[in-house]
């Protein structure tokens, strides 16, 4: 199948679905979380895209989960390349990118597919993302749908920085959001390729924000549905205390700002963002977290090294308008003390 080619629904008009789990040395996660995906994903094709694992993940899938289809990537190219390499083999109408550490629940697919059936301009959908270990709280990676402020800082309904809300039904609605979490991202096949797929320059973290930004610029919508619920373990690849995650988050946020922010104001915003990054680095030094300070320094150096490539990408991408609703989530959170999305 040619990339970007629109697929056809079957005779009954049902959308075909591929649930695609990216795996790298995740044998224990597969054993723990694949059973729920197989049990509750009726009608979907289940794939594990293996990113050149060195453990026995692939043999475990073959022996213990024979209904799961295996795609073997030649290298570990990270989240973006891993999915790009895997999805090019598939022809289903809807791709669901699902982390290997996500437990799905009964009827989790129906609300997502209902939106795709009734809203042709909605390209991507995210379910409610709850914490696998603390099940009555939202999970960091996407909670109840994501947004960004004008400086590119991501935040969510149900999660602002490290403050996670308890779920008591406040986000049981369906609503439009800016970005859908890559932990469980449902996206139309045709829109994925029209937007250019995931940008492999990111390697890992925040690439779904960039993809959703491009979807918006193409005129699509992104939506959250509280009618679908999944539980995310989180930190299975890199936990929040890992300096490598600090590196990717700081660097990739700058990538997205330079690529996607419209107008000459983008460069002023990046300058302001760098000042705030410097303050964050100083805070890490004060806390004795020198590895995280070094990670921010390396993030900025990597950003400078990629500027030529990013400017070329910026030139070739459609840029329509800003999509932020908060000028500074940093000010709202750290200065004004607003800890919940409803307080913003």
**Residues contacting residue 3 through CB under 8 Å, at least 6 positions apart:** 88, 193, 197
What pLDDT shows up at residue 8?
40
Q: What is the pLDDT of residues 298-341, one digit of tens each?
A: 999 999 999 999 999 999 888 777 888 889 999 999 999 999 99
Q: How do the domains of the chain map onto residue ranges?
A: 17-232, 243-343
SS3 115: helix
Q: What is the pLDDT of residues 127-181, one digit of tens each?
A: 999 999 999 999 999 999 999 999 999 999 999 999 999 999 999 999 999 999 9
- Is this model's pTM higher than 0.85 or not? yes
Taking domain 17-232, whether its CATH number is 3.30.930.10 is answered by no
**Residues contacting residue 206 through CB under 8 Å, at least 6 positions apart:** 154, 248, 249, 252, 253, 255, 256
Residue 38: exposed, middle, or buried by beta-carbon count in 10 A (0-12, 13-18, 19+)?
middle
Q: What is the pLDDT of residues 89-111, one digit of tens each?
A: 899 999 999 999 999 999 999 99
Could you give phi then psi for residue 5, rounded to 5 degrees? -70, 130
pLDDT cut 70: percent of the chain above it: 95
Q: What is the pLDDT of residues 306-317, one digit of tens each?
A: 999 999 999 988
- Tell me the C-alpha distance between 145 and 211, whole Å: 15
Q: What is the pLDDT of residues 250-290, one digit of tens each?
A: 999 999 999 999 888 889 999 999 999 999 999 999 999 99
Mean pLDDT of 244-254: 95
Concatenated DSSP letters of 173-233: SEEEESB--TTEEEEEHHHHHHTTS--TTS-SSSHHHHHHHHHHHTT-EEEEEEEEEEEE-
């Amino acid at each position: 199948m040619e990339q970007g080619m629109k697929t056809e629904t079957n005779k009954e008009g049902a959308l075909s679905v591929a649930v695609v789990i990216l795996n790298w040395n995740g044998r224990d996660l597969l054993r723990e979380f694949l059973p729920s995906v197989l049990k509750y994903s009726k009608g979907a094709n289940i794939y594990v895209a293996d990113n050149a694992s060195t453990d026995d993940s692939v043999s475990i899938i073959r022996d213990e989960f024979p209904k799961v289809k295996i795609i073997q990537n030649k290298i570990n190219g990270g989240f973006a390349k891993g999915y790009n390499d895997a999805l090019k083999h598939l022809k289903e109408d809807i791709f669901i990118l699902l982390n290997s550490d996500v437990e799905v629940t009964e009827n989790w697919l129906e609300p997502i597919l209902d939106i795709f059936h009734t809203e042709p301009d909605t390209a991507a959908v995210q379910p409610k993302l709850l914490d696998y270990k603390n099940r009555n709280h939202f999970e960091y990676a996407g909670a109840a749908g994501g947004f960004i402020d004008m400086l590119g800082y991501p935040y969510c309904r149900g999660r602002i920085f490290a403050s996670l809300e308890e779920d008591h039904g406040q986000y049981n609605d369906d609503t439009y959001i800016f970005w859908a979490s890559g932990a469980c991202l449902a996206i139309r096949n045709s829109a994925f390729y029209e937007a250019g797929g995931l940008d492999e320059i990111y390697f890992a973290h925040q690439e779904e924000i960039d993809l959703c930004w491009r979807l918006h610029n193409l005129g699509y919508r992104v939506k959250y549905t509280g009618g679908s619920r999944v539980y995310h373990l989180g930190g299975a690849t890199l936990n929040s205390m890992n300096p490598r995650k600090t590196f990717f988050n700081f660097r990739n946020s700058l990538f997205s700002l330079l690529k996607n922010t419209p107008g000459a104001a983008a460069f002023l915003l990046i300058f302001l963002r760098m000042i705030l990054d410097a303050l964050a680095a100083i805070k890490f030094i004060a806390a004795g977290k020198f590895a995280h300070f070094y990670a921010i320094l390396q993030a900025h150096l990597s950003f400078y090294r990629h500027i030529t490539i990013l400017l070329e990408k910026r030139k070739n991408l459609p840029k329509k308008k800003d999509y932020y609703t908060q000028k500074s989530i940093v000010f709202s959170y750290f200065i004004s003390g607003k800890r919940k999305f409803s307080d913003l």
